[in-house]
Chain A
Amino acid sequence: MALVTATLRMTTPLLFAALGGVLSERSGIINIALEGMMLTGAFFSVAGTYWTGNPWLGLLIGVLSAGVAATIHAYWSITLRGNQIVAGTAVNLIAAGLTAFLIQRIWGQAGASVSVQKLPNLASGINVLLPVAFLLVPVVHIVLFRTKQGLHLQASGEHPQAAENVGIDVTRNRYVAVIASGLLAGMGGAFLSIGDLSYFTLDMTAGRGFIALAAVIFGGWTPVGAMLAALLFGASQAVQIQAQATPGFPISTDLLLAFPYLLTLIAVTGLVRASTPPAGLGTHPTAH
């Protein structure tokens, strides 16, 4: 039972970010900036709570800040047609630097914020944001596959030129998708800092944004697939934590921690099953 709860807790931040990743990548924008967006969300949720004294307002501030980070990624990737990986790398660097810089500035100490009030728990170890992540899976699924907007978004990612030719506003769809990915990743970050814990620490996300991206790919760019992949990765983290607390556990924690990455590496080679990204991923409609 403890392992189930731990798995759900480890999965939640990955799932939020992965759902964002599905939207962004389905619209044709590669999103390695999920990591920076999560970190931004985690930081400003704590800062917002610290400033307002209210964790819900903190959540709002955190999620919106991650949206700002996403807008930067969107502007460079979509409007400037810059290299999407370059833009994502820049967002990640800025988020890492700015949060470290601001910890020092706001709380006068290096490495961690002070403790703030966290979002309420529904039950022991089950934060209010946890079910939200899982409830968002059918929501994103329906939006993506059952609504006109979702189909337009997919068209923007599969064949941006054709989409544009039939009058779909590819630029707008991509902006919406990338900013939505930022809001979702920000919520994942907020779960880490004011959901599961009650403070921010340096580099708190520790690569979860990249794991979430791996979940997107491992899950075949679908919300349900991404959830299953996130659960698998979450479970391996939960087992690893359990293992660290159990002296004499037979499997090395490094091996357990390496497992999701190894799995993703194998998955993207298509050796296990076909792994086909949206055809227009990383491309733009013809320049004009």
Chain B
Amino acid sequence: MSSPPATSRNMIVLNVLGPILAVLAALAVGAVIMLISGHDPITAYVALVDGSLNSKRAITETLIYTAPLILGGLAFAIAYRASLFNIGIEGQLVMGGLAAGIVGAWDLGLPTALHLPLALLAAAAAGGLWGAIPGALRAFTGAHEVITTIMLNYLAYRTVNYTIQKLGDWLPVDNQFQATNRAMDTARLPIVLDGTRLHSGILIAIACAILLWYVLFRTVFGYKVRTVGLSLGAAQYAGISWRGVFVAAMLLSGLLAGLAGAGEALGLHGRHFANPPGYGFTAIAVGLVGRNHPLAIIPSALLFGALSAGAPAMQSDADVSKEIVLVLQGLVILAVAAFAAANRIPGLRKLATPRMSSGRI
């Protein structure tokens, strides 16, 4: 078998080694921050690994965090592939969670085989709608999706809050508990591993990753999405309806985010809480580290899942407050961007690899 041509080897190095180096660089900078603030980074990182990988419970906790991060990362990726920047994953996620929570808590007298899919469908529809709005606004009015998705995040938080606070007469919500009512057993995502909290959301997430890979790389629609993402001009010239692609990509993005919310509501908590979980922003890091490739997003989400799962242990064992994980996420994003632009950093120019043309925002 002949070796791959040099350019494709460079691409492999860029796409696999780049993110790994970026993560290591971020961990190193994180260690420096801990040193400056008088913590022991070794103890902290050992605790982080302990809390995320070193026992059955730790591993299942990591996987519990991984599920919404895979879906969020996929949501980011599908939009990004169409050159759209979905900052609204958090809003789409909570809308999906709310819908799933309400349908799940409703006593419809349905068996699990109907109730659970119905609740998931509601989440996908609510998230998809919340994603399609900025897609349509971008396609038909030119309103930039970054601004509209940020605004729709806040509108989603207010909608969720309003629903839970004020609509208790009509909907199964509990304003004392700041959440929807407890979901019926018929709408709960089954536990995968007895004696743990690990629910089947992780399986849905992995299935979605494979499905999105297929859609993106093996279907005409996926081809259109990638064409629009690489060059809007070329897509227009080829007669691709880019407006339709914008709307569809954002709808799909919101749909995946909505399912992430459903996993939390029907799997982990058994209800949807009014307080937004913040996964929507970690999802951006997940997508970027996974190079917006649906399958690469799985290990990327695992990494960030482990960071989140190990953070409490880091806090209790090394006295490093768990929010340092947010700093690490931000540093990873910066490092990924820096490695992608290595040819512009003096001294690194020699090592520079050819860059893929990136969609302009």
Is B truly associated with A?
yes
B residues sitting closer than 8 Å to A (CB atoms) are: 33, 37-38, 85, 87, 137, 141-144, 146-148, 150-152, 154-155, 158-159, 161-162, 165-166, 281, 284-285, 288, 320-321, 323-331, 333-334, 337-338, 340-341, 344-345, 358, 360-361
Contact (Cβ within 8 A) B344 A100: no
12 contacts between A and B (CB under 8 A): A30-B146, A72-B334, A85-B146, A86-B284, A89-B87, A94-B327, A105-B38, A252-B165, A252-B166, A254-B165, A261-B152, A265-B155
Q: Is A5 an interface residue (CB 8 A)?
A: no
Instruction: Return the contact of A94 from the options B146, B151, B330 (Cβ within 8 A).
Output: B330
Q: Which residue of B lies closest to A89 (CB)?
A: B284
Q: Which residue of B lies closest to A35 (CB)?
A: B150
Known: A258-B154, A258-B155. A268 touches B148 (CB 8 A): yes
Contact (Cβ within 8 A) B334 A90: yes
Tell me the interface secondary structure of chain B in the complex: helix
How many contacts between A and B, using CB within 8 angstroms? Answer: 153
Instruction: Return the contact of B333 from the options A89, A217, A254 (Cβ within 8 A).
Output: A89
Tell me the interface secondary structure of chain A in the complex: helix
Q: Is A101 an interface residue (CB 8 A)?
A: yes
Known: A83-B361, A97-B326, A217-B147. A76 touches B166 (CB 8 A): no
Q: Which residues of A lie under 8 Å from residue B142 when comparing CB positions?
A: 270
Q: How many angstroms between the C-alpha atoms of A267 and B207 in the bound complex?
A: 39
> A234-259 CB contact bits vs B (8 Å, 1 = yes)?
00000000000000000010110110
Contact (Cβ within 8 A) B341 A210: no
Q: Which residues of B lie under 8 Å from residue A76 when comparing CB positions?
A: 334, 337-338
Contact (Cβ within 8 A) B338 A101: no
Known: A86-B337, A270-B141. A257 touches B321 (CB 8 A): no
Q: How far is the CB of B18 from chain A (nearest CB, A)?
A: 13
Q: Is A207 an interface residue (CB 8 A)?
A: yes
Q: Which of A62-84 contact B (CB under 8 A)?
A: 72, 76, 79-84
Known: A90-B330, A93-B333, A269-B137. A101 touches B323 (CB 8 A): yes
Q: Is A129 an interface residue (CB 8 A)?
A: no
Contact (Cβ within 8 A) A86 B333: yes
Q: Is A213 an interface residue (CB 8 A)?
A: yes
Q: How many angstroms between the C-alpha atoms of A30 and B147 in the bound complex?
A: 11
